């Protein structure tokens, strides 16, 4: 029978959207802490791993967490209100049980290896995804996810675009476990008997295990899988490792192509909506960026994309420049520029609004991953460096009146940097005495 | 002269959006009433015909009613906020007077026959629409609607997508009647005189009938039409009955094609956005479904479409499975699955969110009609039955850990049902002793 | 060093969105003042030049102003919430300093001549724009704007579609002036030194002028430019005067083509999304309309476009017909038609919702400019006049029951006007005795 209180995880996202305004997290700003934080305000663009996620499910085999709502953090990124971010981690030899959700997902493997199976009414497709592989899971697609490795954890980040409500979505699991009940149990005895052409006791025994207690329920939605079960599942999977980025429905590999920026300090891999139909449909670009310890991604801004950045490995200091967040709606007169700085580490998320200048300093070897919302035709405008530098395209006559020094002096300053995109963050420490103080 | 208080129906939808939160209606849930309604909450997806509509106009010849706002019922269907549903009924030999609205309409004939005339600045097109015919009326198109039959009432349902405001729209009538004034009367004497190159007394007499009182105003916006007037209007109409579904602007016939699902228990007719440019533009699919008394539409979910279902004829019990509606925003911990059940009868409306599993039991011969919002590429995932059954595509190894019984036993249960889509809702009553209890 | 309080115009739009609900402006309604304003309500569609703009910047060389939020004026135009209007004026021989914004702009030259330069990371394009020229500036594009004329002021109107937030956007200037600081100053000493491969003192001296005070800051973001600087900049500009309307990225000339309506009383120039890829992308049409003193643009409505009208030169009386604005959400019963009248003069803005009938009477020679939001496939439905008159397409049988007079009499009235679109607003004064009173 349907228990009186069919409890939950089912309602995966609803709870998440509630507690958002509580846990606004912030980390100090180095140098200019007293300045950019003098108002006592927190950094609305920085979502620390330890305080900005709501745990939807957690057991010994892994967890599912969802990031706070972006639009509840700051009006400055209100247009992210239809987007949510989900983190999934699982131990070796485990399975995330079959389920579907009322959201489109764009899934990226940050670490480890996954066997992803999409189940449709007329068949199924299994793919092996490695680090840097991405795949769209259309709303309502039943899927399950295996970590087939014997040693490595699997870590996945999903961009979720809900269908029924702008910010909320929901996972529907087929299984009854200790954590939640099968959605099939929501139907009445009559409906189930007619649908399965079977007696209700039989259905209960086979699908829900309630009657006899002899077959124990799973502990939750992430479960252990035996080596031979995994091998059987792997046999029918298509490897996507040979794929590049063109197929309509198959996973694509972010790192299986030439980086768009590359030098000895860093490499930037990117797939744009123009190059991939799954991304075109969602109007999102994806980037994966490697930076060496001590390097700097030079100041730049995205022309139209709002960037959601996820730190995968390493640590960094980020500086974002924007208007001061309003404290009171009444206060109109005192507009101020503000540096939104943060020290980022693994699993942290940072949002870079379109047109806001930003610079990133890798304080250790660093890998981060980017969802670029509103990504089609986005242009990255660098403000320093040899290539892609918007400042170097301003004519001398205009530089002349734009800056206090003469146009020639400004051009000389702009042209001094011979690197592009990534540079050494502390050139003077490496080449002492190069400048006179 | 312009009367001091031009009162009226003109403002058709504005009032409708006000009283929405009041009349939330609900019908009991059979079997599991104490369970799914134990919280005292109502069913936010069920809009009963008698309590969920606001009457915009009503006289002896017919009425116009608009359904409450979806988004004011439940956050779970907030993404329906740009959609409204309008019901129109008229007696034989009547005319709904010429008007336009600031909304796109998708009109479907539920019962009877209509002569629909779309008037554009450069011409007009008249179509005869029968039961199951649909037609888009682009925003701002002046149109009028005749019930040309001598005996049968006309019943129409319209999906409205407002242009100036997400939820509100407005009908603008050319006529002055007892119920409202012509929008032409909003203009000043000077503007009218110059525009019609005529004296204001003449304009008043011909268009508004205010001056002399000799020609009586119509009682309202639905009026009687003489047999010979109807015949004259019918002469120039194109019959759309021979049409199938391809023309850009013409009506299309939902039932003039092969059903997508069909057996002795039911038939499902559907036109998707992929097949019709009018529907593609609105991203809506249309279905018309017949079910025999005692049959069951088996549990299934729509992958991405939010379905607005209108009962045309007959009665049914519906079971929808979703998360428990939140009572208080504070209450985060107690997530529960809930069966949202309702007894549906003629003119009732029910909303099925994307990804929410649903089953429908026809308690009499039944016909219902469906608007599938966000309909492009929607996939119907059945959870039981031979065809289109997503459960039958899950591999044995995964069934094994998903359900308490062994994978083989689960497969045996899944494969027992040999019907697809529609089945007998009470097979055991027909074939006694088939199962051992 | 980064000053403790970096003040600034930078935050251009944020303040604008605050004071909106205060300054609702209104002008009297002539004839029917006691009627259409009897409730004491103001005209929510009328934005007077002197009370509806917020000044973002102003100095001796020009100003930048932003119009109040549309959606805060009236629910009737809530769907304009993603659009803002900006006015820019500058004196001869001036430059608006290089900057970018987190909004798409559609820029139109109302008066004077502009040298517009779009700067991209890989090059720049300069265009000379004359009166009636329009150009899209994609979000995030760095640009500067010269008034190259020796005598004429430059006046520009921009439609802004923000990227990060529905209503707010922000200008980011490269320069530090007395009015705001360079966004480059938001970055830390370390980031700037590494990026420019230079000492911080040098950077400060060349870009910010803070250290030594010897080179004075500009007074604000609009600055004087020397004749020879302008000539040098003009040398590389492409003239867009020979262009018509087809190029992907170049400016297009609204008035360099045949008017769509034209007679001795007025001329209507229009470019639709169907004809221009920049407009298609934004789903906006543009019109420029000339009317002779004493002429009338006859009553008509736009089928689906919401029109934002800017008076460029001259004065006019406008009459808009719609439902009475709701005073209280509770008051449901008293729906009324209302004439929203206003006396318009230079720089005033007026919004015409889709499907709302409107007529405009030029009380002096008049030029106005129009942004048609949601403009693709919009149809202008005239209610009087020979051509494009939706009333003349209604069949006699229907006119018969729609209006108090017989169908024949109504047709006679409708056909009396032999002009189309524009007519003399006071024909009886010119041809006395033509009608008997």
How far apart (Å, rounded) are the C-alpha atoms in residues A98 and A175? 8
Q: Are strands C306-313 and B366-373 parallel, antiparallel or unpaired?
A: unpaired
> Would you say B169 and B101 are in contact if contact means Cβ atoms under 8 Å apart?
yes
Q: Which of B32, B76, B428 sits opposite A193 (nearest CB)?
A: B428
Q: State residue B244's pLDDT score.
A: 43
CB contact under 8 A, C79 and B164: yes
What stretch of H or E contains B86?
Answer: strand B84-90
Tell whether B72 and B147 lie within a shared domain: yes
User: Given an 8 Å threshold on Cβ–Cβ distance, is C413 in contact with B189?
Assistant: no
Which of C351, C373, C401 to mutate: most B Cβ within 10 Å?
C401
The residue-averaged pLDDT of C324-343 equals: 65
The per-residue pLDDT for A396 is: 95
* Among candidate residues A177, A207, A239, the one where a domain is terminated: A239
Higher model confidence: residue B341 or residue B433? B341
Q: What is the structure's pLDDT at C29?
A: 32
By residue range, what is the domain housing residue A269?
Answer: 252-430
Residue C243 has pLDDT above 70, yes or no: no
Contacts of C354 in chain B (CB under 8 A): 102, 139-140, 163-164
DSSP A244-280: -S--SSS-EETTSS--SEEETTEEEEEE-GGG-HHHH
Picking from C354, C387, C413, the nearest residue to B140 by CB comes out as C354
The Cα–Cα gap between A8 and A336 comes to 46
Of C223, C94, C95, whose CA–CA distance to C151 is shortest?
C94
As a whole number of angstroms, the distance between CA B288 and CA B110 comes to 9
* Separation of alpha carbons B307 and A407, rounded Å: 63
Domain contains C177: yes
Judged by CB atoms closer than 8 Å, whether chains meet at C405 and B201 is answered as no
Give the lowest-confidence range in A21-25, A68-72, B342-346, B399-403.
Answer: A21-25
Kindly list the distances between the CA atom of residue C78 and the CA atoms of B169, B346, C304, C353, C373, in Å, as whole numbers in the listed order: 12, 35, 14, 10, 12
Rounded mean pLDDT, A193-217: 82
Domain final position from C189, C207, C239: C239
Task: Look up tokens 């007519």; give the residue.
Answer: C423
* pLDDT (0 to 100) of residue B428: 63
User: What CA–CA distance (Å, rounded) separates C70 from C86?
Assistant: 13
Task: Classify residue B197: in a domain, yes or no.
Answer: yes
Residue A261 has pLDDT above 90, yes or no: yes
Residue of C332, C361, C398 lying closest to B191 (CB–CB):
C361
In this predicted structure, what is the pLDDT of residue B323? 87
Whether residue C97 contacts residue C62, with contact meaning beta carbons closer than 8 Å, is answered with: no
C3 domain residue, yes or no? no
Contact C313, C346 (CB under 8 A): yes
Same domain, A54 and A186: yes
Mean pLDDT of B151-180: 93
Are the C-beta atoms of residues C369 and C316 closer than 8 Å to each other? no
Kindly determine whether residue B435 and residue A139, on different chains, have CB atoms separated by under 8 Å.
no
More confident residue, B52 or A214: B52
Asked if C195's CB is within 8 angstroms of A383's CB, the reply is: yes
Question: For residue A211, what pLDDT is reported?
Answer: 55
Per the prediction, chain B carries an average pLDDT of 85
Task: Say yes or no for a CB contact (<8 Å) between B2 and C304.
Answer: no
Look at residue C242 and tell me whether its pLDDT is greater than 60.
Answer: no
Which residue among C142, C194, C223 places its CB closest to the CB of A390? C142
Q: Do C32 and B142 touch (CB under 8 A)?
A: no
Residues B201 and B267 in one domain: no
**For testing contact with chain B, the best of A186, A217, A235 (most B CBs within 10 A):** A186
The alpha-carbon gap from A199 to the nearest alpha carbon of chain B, in Å, equals 6
Is A7 a member of any domain?
Answer: no
Contacts of A186 in chain B (CB under 8 A): 319, 321-322, 337-339, 357
Which among A380, A389, A405 is the nearest to C205, CB-wise?
Answer: A405
Residue given tokens 């449909």 in the structure block: A281
Mutation to test the A interface, candidates C16, C57, C120, C206, most A Cβ within 10 Å: C206
Of C11, C185, C194, the CB nearest to A323: C11
Q: With an 8 Å Cβ cutoff, are B195 and C385 in contact?
A: yes
Check residue C121 and give left, alpha or beta (phi > 0: left; psi -120 to 50: alpha). alpha
C194, closest residue in chain A (CA to CA): A425
Mutate to test the interface with A, among C11, C104, C121, C193 (most CBs of A within 10 A): C121
Together in a domain, B308 and B196? no
Nearest residue of chain C to residue B214 (CA atoms): C404
Q: How far is B88 from chain A (nearest CA, A)?
A: 27
Is pLDDT of A21 > 70? no
Distance separating alpha carbons of residues B37 and A92, to the nearest angstrom: 42
Which of the other chains make 3 or more beta carbon contacts under 8 angstroms with chain A?
Answer: B, C
Closest CB from C9, C121, C215 relative to A335: C9
Span between the terminal Cα atoms of chain C, in Å: 80
User: Model confidence at A105, in pLDDT bands (50, 70, 90)?
Assistant: very high
Q: C-alpha angle B410/B414/B417, rounded to 5°?
A: 145
What distance in Å separates the CA atoms of residue B361 and residue B319, rounded to the nearest whole number?
8
Tell me the C-alpha distance between C187 and A340, whole Å. Answer: 10
pLDDT value at position C171?
Answer: 94
Q: Which two tokens stand for residue A50?
A: 């330890």
Is pLDDT of A94 > 60? yes
Q: Vertex C382, ends C379 and C388: CA angle to 5°?
A: 70
Which tokens belong to C351? 């919004």
Question: Has residue A14 been placed in a domain?
Answer: no
Q: Looking at the structure, tell me whether residues A233 and A294 fall in a common domain.
A: no
Cα of B22 to nearest chain C Cα, Å: 12
Are B69 and B208 in the same domain? yes
For residues B102 and B143, membership in a common domain is answered with yes
> Does B205 contact C32 at a Cβ distance shorter than 8 Å?
no
Strand, helix or coil for residue C352: strand
Q: What is the mean pLDDT of residues B209-222?
A: 69
Q: Are residues C266 and C354 in the same domain?
A: yes
Angle between helices A407-416 and C189-196 (to 10 degrees): 90
Question: Nearest residue on chain A to C174, judged by CA atoms?
Answer: A402
Predicted local confidence at residue C272, as pLDDT: 96
Q: For B359-373, what is each residue's pLDDT tens digit?
A: 999 999 999 999 999
Whether C383 and B166 lie within 8 Å, measured CB to CB: no
Residue C309 is assigned to a structural domain of this protein: yes
Considering only A32-41, B251-260, C413-422, which range has the smallest mean pLDDT? A32-41
Tokens at residue B261, please? 């699902």
- Residue A360 tokens read as 């990133």
CB of A304 within 8 A of CB of A284? no
Separation in Å, CA of A172 to nearest CA in chain B: 8
| Confidence at residue A356, expressed as pLDDT on a 0 to 100 scale | 98
Structure tokens at A107: 């899934």
User: Which stretch of B283-292, C236-245, C402-411 has the lowest confidence by average pLDDT?
Assistant: C236-245
Confidence of residue C429 (pLDDT cuts 50, 70, 90): low
Q: Please tell me whether residues B41 and B112 are part of one structural domain.
A: yes
CB atoms within 10 A of CB A333: 7
Contact residues on chain A for C94, CB-CB shorter than 8 A: none
Q: Would you put residue B402 in left (φ > 0), alpha (ψ -120 to 50) or beta?
A: alpha
DSSP B216: P
Collapsing DSSP to helix, strand or coil, B274 comes out as helix
Q: Given an 8 Å threshold on Cβ–Cβ distance, is C121 in contact with A390?
A: yes
A232 membership: H or E segment, kind and range: helix A227-235
Share of chain B above pLDDT 90, in %: 75
Cα dist from C349 to C48, C85, C86, whole Å: 6, 9, 11
Can you give the CATH number for the domain in which C101 is found? 2.60.120.10
- Residues B211 and B354 reside in one and the same domain: no
Residue B272's pLDDT band (cuts 50, 70, 90): very high
In tens, the pLDDT along A52-76 reads 999 999 999 999 999 999 999 999 9
Considering only the beta carbons, identify the residue of A301, A330, A425 that sits closest to C194: A425
Chains sharing 3 or more CB pairs under 8 A with chain B:
A, C
Vertex B381: Cα angle to B377 and B383 (nearest 5): 175
Domain boundary among C216, C239, C262: C239
pLDDT in tens, A269-317: 999 999 999 999 999 999 999 999 999 999 999 999 999 999 999 999 9
User: Exposed, middle or buried by CB within 10 Å (0-12, 13-18, 19+), for A330?
Assistant: exposed
Region B298-304: mean pLDDT is 98
How many folded domains does chain A comprise?
2
Lowest mean pLDDT among A232-246, C169-183, C235-249: C235-249
Q: State whether A413 and A385 are in the same domain.
A: yes
pLDDT in tens, C32-85: 333 444 333 479 999 999 999 999 999 999 999 999 999 999 999 999 999 999
Q: Are residues B277 and B369 in the same domain?
A: yes
The CA–CA distances, whole Å, from C280 to B144, C271, C274, C303, C377 equal 32, 10, 6, 18, 11
Q: With beta carbons under 8 A apart, name residues in chain A contacting C203.
A: 413
Indicate whether C247 belongs to any domain.
Answer: no
The span from the CA of B135 to the CA of B189, in Å, is 38
Q: Is residue B331 part of a domain?
A: yes
Tokens representing residue C18 in the block: 């605050």
Q: d(Cα A112, Cα B370) in Å, to the nearest integer?
A: 44
Of the two residues B40 and C116, the one the predictor is more confident about is C116
User: Chain A closest CA to B20's CA: distance in Å?
Assistant: 19
Alpha carbons within 13 angstroms on the beta-carbon side of residue C46 total: 23
The pLDDT of residue A212 is above 80: no
């Amino acid at each position: 029978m349907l228990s009186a209180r069919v409890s939950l995880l089912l309602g995966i996202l609803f709870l998440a959207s509630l507690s958002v305004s509580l846990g606004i997290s912030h980390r100090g700003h180095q140098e200019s802490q007293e300045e950019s934080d003098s108002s006592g305000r927190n950094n609305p663009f920085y979502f620390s791993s330890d305080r900005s996620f709501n745990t939807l499910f957690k057991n010994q085999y892994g967890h599912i967490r969802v990031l706070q709502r972006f639009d509840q953090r700051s009006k400055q990124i209100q247009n992210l209100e239809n987007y949510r971010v989900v983190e999934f981690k699982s131990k070796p030899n485990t399975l995330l049980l079959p389920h579907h959700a009322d959201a489109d997902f764009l899934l990226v493997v940050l670490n480890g290896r996954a066997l992803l199976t999409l189940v449709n009414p007329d068949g199924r497709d299994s793919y092996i995804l490695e680090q840097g592989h991405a795949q769209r899971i259309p709303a309502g697609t039943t899927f399950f996810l295996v970590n087939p490795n014997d040693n490595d954890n699997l870590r996945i980040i999903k961009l979720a675009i809900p269908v029924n409500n702008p910010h909320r979505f929901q996972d529907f699991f087929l299984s009854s476990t200790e954590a939640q009940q099968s959605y099939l149990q929501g139907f009445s005895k009559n409906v189930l008997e007619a649908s399965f052409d079977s007696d209700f006791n039989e259905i209960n025994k086979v699908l829900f295990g309630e009657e006899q207690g002899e077959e124990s329920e799973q502990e939750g939605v992430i479960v252990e899988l035996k080596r031979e079960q995994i091998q059987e599942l792997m046999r029918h999977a298509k490897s996507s490792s040979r794929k590049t980025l063109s197929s309509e429905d198959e996973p694509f590999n972010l790192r299986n192509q030439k980086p768009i920026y590359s030098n000895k300090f860093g490499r930037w891999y990117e797939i744009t909506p123009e190059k991939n139909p799954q991304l075109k449909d969602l109007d999102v670009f994806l980037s994966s960026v490697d930076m060496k310890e001590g390097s700097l991604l030079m100041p730049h801004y995205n022309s139209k994309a709002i960037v959601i950045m996820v730190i995968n490995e390493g640590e960094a200091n980020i500086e974002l420049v924007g208007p001061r967040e309003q404290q009171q709606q009444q206060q109109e007169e005192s507009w101020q520029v503000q540096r939104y700085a943060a020290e980022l580490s693994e699993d942290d998320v940072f949002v870079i609004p379109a047109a806001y200048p930003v610079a990133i300093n890798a304080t250790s070897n660093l890998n981060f991953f980017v969802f670029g919302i509103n990504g089609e035709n986005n242009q990255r405008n660098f403000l320093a460096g040899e290539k892609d530098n918007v400042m170097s395209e301003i004519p001398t006559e205009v530089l002349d009146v734009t800056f206090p020094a003469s146009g020639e002096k400004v051009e000389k300053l702009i042209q001094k940097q011979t690197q592009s995109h990534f540079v050494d963050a502390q050139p003077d420490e490496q080449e002492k005495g190069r400048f006179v103080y």
